[in-house]
Amino acid sequence: MSTTLFTPYTLRELTVPNRVWMPPMCQYSAAPAGEAAGVPTDWHYTHQAARAAGGTGLIITEATAVSPEGRISPYDLGLWNDTQVEAFRRITDFLKAQGTVPAVQLGHAGRKASTERTWVDRGRALSPEEEHGWTPLAPSALPFSPEHTTPEELTVDQIGGIVRQFADAARRALAAGFQVVEVHGAHGYLIHQFLSPESNRRTDAYGGSFEGRIRFALEVVDAVREVWPQELPLFFRVSATDWLTENPQDDREGWTSQDTVRLAKELQAHGVDLLDVSTGGLVPDAAIEAAPGYQVPFAEAVRDQAGLPVAAVGLITEPAQAQEILAAGRADAVLLGRELLRNPSWARHAAGQLGGEVHTPVQYHRA
């Protein structure tokens, strides 16, 4: 079997050693307040270092907030100050030493902000009156669920301010040693909230038509691309569908796979190099039938119809499965989330099965 999974992949002037990538997965393990807020800890270092030592080609640091109020939870990472930059350098230096490309996902949670850690009361919403809680911001004053705080509708000036926060965070990401920035436009967070007509009821230039609803996303991409080096790639993560129009019993109007293909063409024209294709997250009650590789067709559609490179994600667990996706031209890389949580050395084990090679630390050669 040819090992597409373990061939290098080049975007702009950056070459990733293989196609086994780790997606951003929030660890909710930073300090919630004070000078250490948003600063990576020993946990974040160990979490990423183990996967780099295991042969993973590219690691995307979890959703990293561009502002304190943009955090999903008070325990999220951030890149809104220079203290955070210094702490991230320790991680990116180690990843590069192992041959792994360090990437970071920059995001703003919008109406899904101010929640507990997922293992505390199932990540319940924190009200502004509670310790570490605050009032979320959103395109429209529509809460994520009845249990969530109704968000404050963003003014046009506030929208411009958030665009600048993304650019400032990208500058800090470069100073922190990251080689890829990913803009988080998926999973029901702020950019996705602007994209979907289910969460965006604005009547100004940032709402209504498809062109209005994608305006904020393109402004963020333009601002990030302007400060991000031309030789380094820019990713964008998208939820290819809200899973609303696929359900005949659901009369809500959501973001669709056809919308995603249209957006992909626009993103490519604005300097995005790869689309990280996921789904869902906009509403808490969407009917999703998950199965192995269930999101791959959405990535494949973007690759075929928009001509933009894609990474596929979602219940990709077996080496032969990952290899088939790439060899068939359905995606350019695969992102393994829970599987890499279970097995930090998945890439090395897969290389052994498929006849590929990954970087092995000299300390591990005896194994």
Q: Pick the catalytic residue: 9, 28, 75, 189? A: 189
Alpha helix (H) residue ranges in the chain: 42-53, 82-97, 156-175, 190-195, 210-213, 215-227, 257-269, 296-306, 319-327, 338-342, 346-354
User: Which residue type occupies 261?
Assistant: V
Give the C-alpha separation, 127 to 122, whole Å: 15
Give me 217's structure tokens: 């996303």
CA 248 to chain centre: 29
3 state DSSP class of 255: coil
Catalytic: 364? no
Structure tokens at 28: 């909710």
Other C-beta atoms within 10 Å of 304: how many?
Answer: 12
In single-letter form, the type of residue at position 1 comes to M
Contact 240, 260 (CB under 8 A): yes
How crowded is residue 263: how many other Cβ atoms within 10 Å of its Cβ? Answer: 26
Residue 226, burial from CB neighbour count under 10 angstroms (0-12, 13-18, 19+):
exposed
Dihedral sign (CA 295, 19, 108, 209): negative
What would the two tokens of residue 77 be? 């990472």
Contact (Cβ atoms closer than 8 angstroms) between residue 136 and residue 113: yes
Q: What share of the chain is helix, strand, coil (3-state, %, to 5)?
A: 35, 15, 50
| C-alpha–C-alpha distance, residues 142 and 139, integer Å | 8
192 close to 202: Cβ distance less than 8 angstroms: no
Q: Which residues are catalytic?
A: 189
